[in-house]
Amino acid sequence: MVTTTPLEAELLEIAGSVPDPELPVLTLHELGVVRAVHVRGADSVEVELTPTYTGCPAIEAMSLDIERVLRAHGMREVAVRTVLRPAWSTDDITAEGRRKLRDFGIAPPRSARDSGPVTVGLGPTRTLADEPAPRPEPVRCPHCGSPDTELLSRFSSTACKALRRCLACREPFDHFKEF
């Protein structure tokens, strides 16, 4: 069992408060990418950071922002280490993060914790509420809440998101993909 000191918990909270560079409405804590903080000396700390996917271009900006806020808090040496295990999953996004995504107009990922594993298939691009049970929960429109949406593009402004359109209100929106 790993124990966390009060200083490590405080520094973890500070590192987690950094806004995500691609989705500044979310903090790194809400995104679930800051894994741990380890104090290595009186003014030295190591932060474990997991990218949302291997090769994520935002990892460098996240690391620099974490270094900046921890140095401002008195840490002279800050090392941000990328850890790939356990792999990041969209289930690591907090409930508050999911709410913020929805309020920002991005459909949050469906949670495997709530409905079991999310299956990935190459089926139709529309998701309707009355489809057979084996299908995953439909992607709901963050604007009107309708489950009647269609996929326009598997990629949107970032590789983490897909572009969808609501068939009820006709508004396009991003969907943070599950993985």
Residue 117 has pLDDT above 80, yes or no: no
Does the residue 96 lie in any domain?
no
Q: What is the DSSP letter of 178?
A: -
> Which residue range is the domain that position 38 belongs to?
6-82
| pLDDT score of 151 more than 60 | yes
Token duo for residue 161: 């998101």
The 10 Å Cβ neighbour count of residue 86 is: 9
How many domains in the chain? Answer: 2
Sheet holding 34-41, edge to edge: 34-41, 44-49, 77-82
Q: For 22-70, how does the pLDDT look when each residue is reduced to its tens digit (9 = 90+)? A: 899 999 999 999 999 999 988 999 999 999 987 888 999 999 999 999 9
The answer, yes or no, to whether residue 14 has pLDDT greater than 90, is yes
Same domain for 163 and 129: yes
Instruction: Name the more confident of 92 and 157.
Output: 92
Question: What is the per-residue pLDDT for 40?
Answer: 92
Residue 123: pLDDT band (50, 70, 90) is: low
Residue whose C-alpha is closest to residue 36's, from 89, 79, 90: 79
Tell me, what CATH number does 11's domain have? 3.30.300.130
Instruction: Name the token pair of 67.
Output: 């270094």
Residues 158 and 123 in one domain: yes
Query: Residue 45 corresponds to which tokens in the numbers above?
Result: 């700390």
Chain-centre distance of CA 22, in angstroms? 10
